[in-house]
């Protein structure tokens, strides 16, 4: 596994992967040294994340290889269906998976998403429209939602 670091408006992104794909993207508080020589296998992810923050990208197409249980993988796959600039509730995801009683499990899988931004767990909100739970902090979730849909900030928050 190789790792590269990218400075973003929200902190330093850590991108980890190998020839099988990107396994993890996470955010760190504070400034960390940005990787000067980015390993070839990580270059597409670093480039596309930078384009996202520059407002030039709404989807990602680099190879991903997140590790998780079968249920987590199903939830993460469903998260990929949430369009850029839109939000859905945990209950919406639960219904799409076919078991409304699994809402806590869906929320847990959402929180364990290893691919920050790429698998858009930040687009999942409470049934009442509130910002709920976000491993990176609610301020980051709010920033990401406003970045993707600036006109929604007044209706969401």
Domains of the chain, start order: 2-53 (3.30.160), 70-156 (1.10.10.10)
Q: What is the mean pLDDT of the chain?
A: 90
How would DSSP label each residue in 102-144?
GHHHHHHHHHT-SBTTTS-GGGEE-TTS-----TT-HHHHHHH
Predicted pLDDT of residue 35: 61
**Mean pLDDT (whole number) for 52-66:** 96
pLDDT, one tens digit per residue, over 71-80 is 999 999 999 9
Closest C-alpha among 103, 113, 109, 107 to residue 136: 113
Tokens read off for 82: 């949430």
Confidence at 124, pLDDT banded by 50, 70, 90:
very high
Predicted pLDDT of residue 143: 93
Between 30 and 10, the higher pLDDT residue:
10
Tokens read off for 112: 């364990």
Question: Which residues are known to be catalytic?
Answer: 121
- Say yes or no to pLDDT of 99 above 80: yes
Tokens read off for 157: 């928050």
Predicted pLDDT of residue 48: 98
Distance from C-alpha of 9 to C-alpha of 143, rounded to nearest angstrom = 9
Angle, to 10 degrees, between the axis of helix 90-97 and the axis of helix 70-79?
120
Distance from C-alpha of 5 to C-alpha of 16, rounded to nearest angstrom = 9
Predicted pLDDT of residue 157: 45
Predicted pLDDT of residue 132: 85
- Say yes or no to pLDDT of 111 above 70: yes
DSSP H or E run through 69 = none
Predicted TM-score (pTM) of the model is 0.88
- Say yes or no to pLDDT of 153 above 80: no
């Amino acid at each position: 596994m190789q790792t590269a670091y990218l400075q973003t408006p929200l902190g330093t992104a850590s991108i980890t992967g190998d020839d099988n794909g990107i396994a993890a993207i996470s955010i760190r508080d504070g400034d960390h040294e940005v990787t000067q020589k980015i390993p070839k296998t990580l270059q597409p992810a670093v480039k596309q994340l930078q384009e996202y923050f520059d407002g030039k990208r709404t989807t990602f197409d680099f190879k991903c290889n997140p590790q998780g249980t079968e249920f987590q993988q199903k939830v993460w796959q469903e998260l990929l269906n949430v369009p850029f600039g839109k939000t859905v509730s945990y209950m919406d995801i639960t219904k799409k998976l076919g078991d409304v009683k699994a809402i806590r499990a869906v929320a847990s899988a959402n929180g364990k998403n290893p691919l920050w931004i790429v698998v858009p767990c930040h687009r999942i909100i409470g049934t009442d429209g509130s910002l709920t739970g976000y491993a990176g902090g609610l301020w980051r979730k709010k920033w990401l939602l406003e970045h993707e849909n600036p006109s929604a900030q007044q209706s969401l928050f």
